[in-house]
Amino acid sequence: MSVASPVAVVTGASRGAGRGIAIALGSHGCTVYVTGRSEKATDSQLPGTIYETAKAVTAAGGKGIAVRVDHSIDEQVQGLFQQVAEEQGRVDILVNNACALNDQLTAPGNFWEKPLAIVDMLDVGLRSSYVASYFAAPLMVDKKHSLIMFTSASGSVHYVYGPVYGAHKAGMDKFAADMAVDLKDFNVAVLSVWMGALQAERLQMVIDSDPEKYGHLADVTETPEFTGHVIWALYNDPNLMELSGQTVIGAEMAEKYGIRDKGGRRPTSYRDTHKVEPHIQYPNIIR
């Protein structure tokens, strides 16, 4: 493990989960590259910019560095990691979180009755996570202790909002499983983490859209920072490589590491609330 402050890249960190994860890593002294497209308030209907997040990372005790990246453009992603290589020489933690979430994703109706643009989350979300990992890996394989994380949820194993959402989550889990095979000999761990419902702007919009249907979510949410603290604990686990390739449930990892959410809350596992668990990958490897 490097003696210097760990270098993290958190994609899609203008707001929501990415913002919380970045701030949490900053509170543990990390240098955090914050990516996203929002540079000013008018760039999105939702509040939050990469500069605001970077400032919050620094205020939390780390060093926040904002980099404007459109994750649908491979050259911009490549440029991001070239910048990190020039400025830091390495990446210790990559959190793949960027995702093009359409406001109509949670609207009622079958998949063909919703906007086709919903499928964009398979570009900025799934494909973009592969691209970020592709360019980050060369900066991680020689460092002997690195971690790639994919933010996911239980929709990978049951119906949530339609087939695109499920394919995205299942793909994130599968990326973790298979990238772990290639990175095993380089001591780079790869995991996917199921986050719970987040106390963030987008969820509040969902709750407000149909309080009778979604109101209960307000009582079972996690703060966006919660997953960031879980990721930090995983990174520092001396047995991290034994977990590599797995999809883990954030609430269960928090119990393992003694982490509590804001106000001492203990988020509940999907295993208890939804009666589901991540798929287990078979050990067969064909090259």
The predicted pLDDT at position 86 comes to 98
165 is catalytic: yes
The predicted pLDDT at position 2 comes to 41
pLDDT, tens only, 24-62: 999 999 999 999 998 867 666 676 899 999 999 999 999
CATH number at residue 221: 3.40.50.720
- pLDDT string in tens for the chain (287-residue length): 345 899 999 999 999 999 999 999 999 999 999 999 988 676 666 768 999 999 999 999 999 999 999 999 999 999 999 999 999 999 999 999 999 999 999 999 999 999 999 999 999 999 999 999 999 999 999 888 999 999 999 999 999 999 999 999 999 999 999 999 999 999 999 999 999 988 766 666 667 777 777 766 666 789 999 999 999 999 999 999 999 999 999 999 999 999 999 999 999 999 999 999 999 999 999 99
The predicted pLDDT at position 213 comes to 77
The predicted pLDDT at position 210 comes to 79
Q: Is residue 138 domain-resident?
A: yes
The alpha-helical segments, DSSP class H, found in 98-237 are 128-136, 163-183, 201-209, 211-214, 224-235
What are the strands of the beta sheet with 93-96, ordered from one edge?
Answer: 63-68, 31-36, 7-10, 93-96, 146-152, 188-194, 247-249
Q: How many domains does the chain have?
A: 1
Q: Is residue 285 domain-resident?
A: no
Q: Is residue 282 domain-resident?
A: no
Domain region containing 12: 7-273
The pair phi, psi for residue 87, each rounded to 5°, is -90, -30
- HSE toward the beta carbon, residue 51, CA cutoff 13 A: 5
Q: Is residue 120 domain-resident?
A: yes
pLDDT, tens only, 221-248: 899 999 999 999 999 999 999 999 999 9
Beta bridge partners of 150: 96, 192
Which entry of 51, 134, 159, 165 is annotated as an active-site residue? 165
The predicted pLDDT at position 221 comes to 86
Q: What is the pTM of this model?
A: 0.93
Distance CA 109, CA 129 (A): 28
The predicted pLDDT at position 201 comes to 66
Q: Is residue 1 domain-resident?
A: no
Q: Residue 281's CB: how many other CB atoms inside 10 A?
A: 16
The predicted pLDDT at position 144 comes to 83
The predicted pLDDT at position 197 comes to 87
The predicted pLDDT at position 205 comes to 67
Q: Is residue 88 domain-resident?
A: yes
Question: Which of 119, 104, 122 lies closest to 205 in space, CA to CA?
Answer: 104
The predicted pLDDT at position 1 comes to 39
Question: Contact at 8 Å (CB) between 94 and 34?
Answer: no
Q: Is residue 13 domain-resident?
A: yes
The predicted pLDDT at position 38 comes to 86
The predicted pLDDT at position 219 comes to 64
Q: Is residue 286 domain-resident?
A: no
